[in-house]
Structure 1
Amino acid sequence: MSFAEQLHRLQAFLDADELHDEALDYVAAHGYLTALSTCAETVPDREWIDALFAEPPHYADKAQEEEIEATLIQLKAHIARQLASDEEFELPCDLDLGDDPDDSELRGWCIGFMEGVFLRESAWFENDEEEVSEMLLPIMVGSGLFDEQPEFADIAADANLMDDMIVQIPEALTALYLLLQAPDEKPAILKPRHH
């Protein structure tokens, strides 16, 4: 079975209604795996898989369980390769919250990403808290999880500002990845880019 077919089956599994309410759907799981791939500390597969599902899903059989978990692990490796490449990171959804942000796939992706951050929060912020927070801002804004905080409420109330921040997510991901995974290369990010 090709990776594309495996992903298709994973997507059908994660997007099914039978999963626990707090389990991540495919787009949210992609965000979650992106965060795990960005973090400097490696989370054991068993831990992040269990957290992704919130409670053990009802698999048809052992073979399905092995297939779904293996595909998740492969998807995580695929995302890590994407992050490490020089190409702009592509999200599995539009960079747009649409008319109803709570229903948008992008919101789901950002929430999934933040779930991944929360799994190892200290590892994200221990060295460059200010920089990491700044780079995480577009994703935090997109997630809507922080809208009760005044600074986030102000951004959320300004549609143009929201749009400006959200389109920065791919760039922010690349910067976060370099900062957390390759800190020696950090000065390169801060130099102005010549077009």
Structure 2
Amino acid sequence: MASDWLVSPSDSELEELDQFLRARAGEEDMLLDGVHGFLTALAIGPAPAKPEEWLPEILHEPFVDSDEGERVLTLLARLNDAIAPELETGSYEPILGELDIEEGAPAFTARGWCEGFSRGIDLRAPSWEGRLGHDSDLMELLSPIIALAIDDGVFESDAEFAPLGDDEYDECLAQIPGAVGAVAEYWRTHPLADDERAPTPEDGASPPRRRGGRWVH
């Protein structure tokens, strides 16, 4: 049974999880693409987060059905646990939303994934922002994600950015896996110094407040 946790959720299981989240989503709640971005930011970031810290950001109501609850928790754990192995094997792909258009195939959007990614950063905001404030290399590694987030209106920026064209947007989407892998490698090779470590909920610290969708740099 333990080996099941190492297997990435199948397409049908992702659809099952997506339907569960959609059926209970409020205006500020994350759907599957947002959850994946959120867990990705935590998986590649400066300090890991345990399920008891990140689950309340995804699930806000108690389960009515215990079997359904166990199933959902299992799928979320597998989705989370698959991120690091996928990065190591080069098979990581972000879960993106789809936009219905009048003609042709649906277009993909990174809005939900980027919103979730920002929430993952928010859980470790002091560590991320402290490093971004004095290391431009990290900001550069994040540049495709930042460009998409600004273009989709997830973040505001003090600098002016021209809207991305369709080809530029698609190019940034294609760069997400590489950017995620590069940021993961950055934090592996540039870990937090003792004076950079912010208190976590395990230390009795309160969760950070949301930054309101603004990259701080």
Aligned partner of 1:145 in structure 2 is 154
Determine if contact 2:94/2:176 at 8 Å carries over to the other structure: no
- Following the alignment from structure 2 to structure 1, what is the Cα–Cα distance between the partners of residues 70 and 136? 40
* Deviation of 1:15 (Å): 2.2
Q: Which residue of structure 2 aligns with residue 49 of structure 1?
A: 55
CA distance in structure 2 between the partners assigned to 1:154 and 1:105 by the alignment: 18
Structure 2 equivalent of residue 92 of structure 1: 95
State the partner residue of 1:192: none
Give ranges in structure 1 of 5+ residues lacking alignment. 185-195
Structure 1 residues 158 and 26: CA distance shift in structure 2, 3 A: closer
State the alpha-carbon separation in 2 of the partners of residues 164 and 7 from structure 1.
25
Report the CA distance between 1:84 and its aligned residue.
2.3
Unmatched tracts of structure 2, length 5 or more: 102-106, 192-217
Of all paired residues, the percent bearing the same amino acid is 26
Q: 1:81 offset after TM fit, Å?
A: 1.1
Once superposed, what is the RMSD of the aligned Cα atoms?
3.0
Structure having the larger proportion of residues in helix: 1
How far off is 1:29 after superposition? 0.7
- 1:41 Cα deviation (Å)? 0.6
What's 1:175 paired with?
A: 182
Q: Which segment drifts farther, 130-139 or 106-115?
A: 130-139
Aligned position for 1:75: 79
Residue of structure 2 equivalent to 1:133: 139
Letter in structure 2 aligned against 1:77: D
SS in 1 for 2:26: coil
1:15 to 17, 22, 26: 22
**CA displacement 1:140-182 (0-9 Å, x = unmatched):** 22223223x242x423x24255454443222111110111124
TM-score normalised to structure 1 length:
0.73
Match of 2:116 among 112, 115, 126: 112
Amino acid at match of 2:148: G
Q: 8 Å contact 1:97–1:107 — kept in the other structure?
A: no
